[in-house]
A and B are shown apart, each in its own frame.
Chain A
Amino acid sequence: MIEFKNLSLVYPNGNEGLKNINIKINEGEFVVIVGLSGAGKSTFIRSVNRLVTPTDGELIVDGEDILTHNGKSLRELRKKVGMIFQSYNLVKRSTVLKNVIAGRLGYTGTFRSIFNMYPKEDMELAYENLKRVNIENKLYSRADELSGGQQQRVSIARVLTQKPKVILADEPVASLDPPTSHQVMKYLKQINQEDNITTIVNLHFIDMAMEYADRIIGMRAGEVVYDGPASEVTEKTFEEIYGRTIREDDIRGGEVNE
C-alpha cells in the first residue's frame, strides 16, 4: 500500500512539482496517471522510488515513511519498487541477459556483481522472466540490436527480475507505435494480475488509460484534480482534467483485437 499524505515537492529552482497530494493506492491496483505535459506525473511517480525527494509531507510505502530513507535503506526501498522508463534505459552495448540480471543488483554484493557471480536461481529467474515477455530467444543479443518494443519488453523482464512489490512506469509506450504500445501495456496488465504487483503508469493517451486502468488519477499543475475508477471515466472527465477539448493526439488508437 502506498499513501501520499499532504505531500509537496518544490524543485531547487522553485518549480512546484507536487502540491499537497493526498492519495491512497491499494495493493494490486493498476493505476494510470493522466495529465498534460508538465502536470507533475513524472514527479508523482519518481517520488515513490525517491528518484526525486518531496520537500514536505509524508509518503508511506509498505508501512514506512520513505522520505527519511537514504543510503542502504533507500536501496532497500528501490528493490521493492521497480521502474520502467520511456526510453527503456537499457545499457545498449550489453547483452539482453546482462541487462536483465541487473535487476538482481540490489540483492547481490558489489564484489559478486562485478565478477558476474550470480546464484543459479538468479540466472534462471532472469531467463524465466525473458520467457514471460517472449523475448528469450534474444538472450545473448546486444540490447541495441533490438526494436523499441523488444527493448521495452527486456526492461519489463529486468523489473520482474528484481521481484518488486510495486512497478512504476513513466510513459512506457510514448516512444512506440500503436500495436507495440498495446502489446507492452498488455504485458504490464497481465503481470499486475498474475503477480498482484501494484502498478502505477503515466500515460497521456486517454483511450489506453481507459482500457487498462483499474483507477485513473488526473493531475494538473501539480495537483490531483480527478481520482476515480476507470469505469466511471468518460471523455468529459478528460476534458476537465486537461482543461481543454480532446484532440486527436490524445488518442493512441490502433487497438489490436485478439
Chain B
Amino acid sequence: MNKTDEFIPTSLYPAKTKRTISIAFIVVIGFYLVSSITTESFIINFFLKLGNITDLVGRFFPPDWGYVNNVWPKLFETIHMAIIATTIAVIISVPFCLLAAHNITTNKWLYNSMRMILNIIRTIPDIILAVVFVGLFGIGVFSGIIALIIFAVGILVKLMSEIIEAIDMHPSEAIRASGGNTIQTIWYAVVPQILPQFISFSLYVFEINIRASVVLGLVGAGGVGQLINKEINFLNYPAVSTIVLIIFAVVVVIDWISGKLREGLV
C-alpha cells in the first residue's frame, strides 16, 4: 500500500497548525464575548452611539480659553515634580542597576532577591503609590514626588540592568588584571559603556514622569491633575478641555526636546 505515493496535499498548512490556530481563534473570540457581555461594553456601541458620544464630548468644547492663566502654576508644579523625582530616581537607581545585573552581582541570592523586589515594584500602578503616600504625608507635591520616584526607579533599574547585562566584559577583565578595585573597574570599564544609554533612559523616564505626574493630581498628589479633578467635580468641562489641551501641547514639546537630546547621544 503505497499511500505516500498517492498523497495529495489538501491544505497549505499541516493539520496540527490548523487545529492550534482554530482553537486559539475560538478562545480569543470566546473570551472577547464573555468580556464584552460582563462589562456590557460592545465596541460596536461606540460607532452606533457615535452621534450621542460626539454630542456629549461636545460639552468639552469649545475650550474655555479664559481659563488658561489658571493652568500655568499647577502645570509648572507638575513639571517641577517630574524634574525632582527623575533626578532623585536616577541617583537612587545607580546602585540598584548594578545589583540587578547578573554580570556585576555574582551573588545569586542577592541578584534574585533584587529582581524579585523590582518585579513587584513594577506591578504597582503609580496612582496607587500616590494614594498611599497622600494618606501618609497629606495632600501635596511631596506625596506625588515620592510616588514618582518609586515608580521611576522601577522602570529605570529594569531598563538599565538589561543594558548592563549586555555590555562587553572584556575591558573589566583588563582593569581587574591591572590591579583596579571593584569601584575602579565599574567606573573605568562599565560606566563608559552604559553612560549614553543611562542618560537616554533618564530622559525617557522624565517623559513618562511628566505624564504620570499629570495623573497623580487626581488623587491629590500635586500638579495639574488636581486642577482637572476640581473642575470635573464642578462639571466645568470647557475648563477641563483647556487643561487637557495645554497638557497635550506640553507633553508633545517635552517629548520632542527630549527625543532630540537622546538622538544626539548614541
Chain A–chain B contact at Cβ < 8 A: yes
A-side interface residues toward B, CB under 8 Å? 49, 51, 75-79, 81-83, 85, 87-94, 98, 102-103, 105-107, 110, 113-114, 155, 158-159, 162
Which 5 pairs from chain A and chain B are nearest by CB?
A: A106-B179, A89-B174, A105-B180, A78-B179, A89-B170
B195: which A residues are within 8 A, CB to CB? 93
Complex: A92 Cα to B184 Cα, angstroms: 17
Map CB proximity to A onto B163-201 as digits: 1 under 8 Å, 0 otherwise.
000001011011111111101100111001101100000
- Of B174, B179, B192, which one neighbours A75 at CB under 8 angstroms? B179
Complex: A79 Cα to B181 Cα, angstroms: 11
| 17 CB-based A-B contacts, threshold 8 Å | A75-B179, A77-B179, A78-B178, A78-B179, A85-B174, A90-B171, A91-B188, A91-B192, A94-B192, A102-B180, A106-B179, A107-B179, A110-B183, A110-B184, A113-B184, A114-B183, A159-B178
Complex: A77 Cα to B178 Cα, angstroms: 9
A98: which B residues are within 8 A, CB to CB? 188
Known: A93-B192, A102-B188. A85 touches B178 (CB 8 A): no
B184: which A residues are within 8 A, CB to CB? 105, 110, 113-114
Complex: A90 Cα to B183 Cα, angstroms: 17
**Are A162 and B179 closer than 8 Å at their CB atoms?**
yes
**Are A105 and B174 closer than 8 Å at their CB atoms?**
no
Known: A51-B173, A83-B174, A105-B188. A92 touches B179 (CB 8 A): no
Looking at the assembled complex, report how far the CB atom of A112 sits from the nearest CB atom of chain B, in whole angstroms. Answer: 10
A88: which B residues are within 8 A, CB to CB? 170
**Are A155 and B174 closer than 8 Å at their CB atoms?**
yes
B180: which A residues are within 8 A, CB to CB? 75, 102, 105-106, 113
- Of A94, A106, A110, which one neighbours B178 at CB under 8 angstroms? A106
Looking at chain B's contact residues, is the secondary structure mostly helix, strand, loop, or mixed?
helix
**Are B178 and A83 closer than 8 Å at their CB atoms?**
yes
B187: which A residues are within 8 A, CB to CB? 113-114
How many positions in chain B have a CB within 8 Å of any CB in the partner chain? 21
Looking at the assembled complex, report how far the CB atom of B186 sits from the nearest CB atom of chain A, in whole angstroms. Answer: 10
- Of A51, A113, A114, which one neighbours B177 at CB under 8 angstroms? A51
Q: Which of A76, A79, A91, A98 lies at the interface centre, i.e. has the most chain B CB atoms within 10 A of its CB?
A: A91
Looking at the assembled complex, report how far the CB atom of A117 sits from the nearest CB atom of chain B, in whole angstroms. Answer: 13
Q: Which B residues, 135 to 173, have Cβ-Cβ distances below 8 Å to chain A?
A: 168, 170-171, 173
Complex: A94 Cα to B174 Cα, angstroms: 14
Complex: A153 Cα to B243 Cα, angstroms: 61
Looking at the assembled complex, report how far the CB atom of B13 sits from the nearest CB atom of chain A, in whole angstroms. Answer: 44
Complex: A164 Cα to B69 Cα, angstroms: 69
The residue on B at minimum CB distance from A91 is B171
Complex: A49 Cα to B177 Cα, angstroms: 7
Complex: A76 Cα to B175 Cα, angstroms: 13
**Are A85 and B176 closer than 8 Å at their CB atoms?**
no
Looking at the assembled complex, report how far the CB atom of B189 sits from the nearest CB atom of chain A, in whole angstroms. Answer: 6
The residue on A at minimum CB distance from B196 is A93
**Are A51 and B176 closer than 8 Å at their CB atoms?**
yes
The residue on A at minimum CB distance from B169 is A89
The residue on A at minimum CB distance from B190 is A91
Looking at the assembled complex, report how far the CB atom of A131 sits from the nearest CB atom of chain B, in whole angstroms. Answer: 20
Q: Which of B171, B177, B188 lies at the interface centre, i.e. has the most chain A CB atoms within 10 A of its CB?
A: B177
**Are B168 and A105 closer than 8 Å at their CB atoms?**
no
Complex: A126 Cα to B196 Cα, angstroms: 27
Complex: A229 Cα to B173 Cα, angstroms: 32
Complex: A80 Cα to B154 Cα, angstroms: 43
Looking at the assembled complex, report how far the CB atom of B108 sits from the nearest CB atom of chain A, in whole angstroms. Answer: 14
Looking at the assembled complex, report how far the CB atom of B95 sits from the nearest CB atom of chain A, in whole angstroms. Answer: 15
B176: which A residues are within 8 A, CB to CB? 51, 78
Complex: A106 Cα to B183 Cα, angstroms: 12
Looking at the assembled complex, report how far the CB atom of B166 sits from the nearest CB atom of chain A, in whole angstroms. Answer: 14
**Are A103 and B178 closer than 8 Å at their CB atoms?**
yes
The residue on B at minimum CB distance from A104 is B178
B179: which A residues are within 8 A, CB to CB? 75-79, 105-107, 162
A159: which B residues are within 8 A, CB to CB? 178
B189: which A residues are within 8 A, CB to CB? 91
Looking at the assembled complex, report how far the CB atom of A49 sits from the nearest CB atom of chain B, in whole angstroms. Answer: 6
A103: which B residues are within 8 A, CB to CB? 178
Complex: A113 Cα to B195 Cα, angstroms: 17
Known: A89-B173, A91-B193. A162 touches B168 (CB 8 A): no
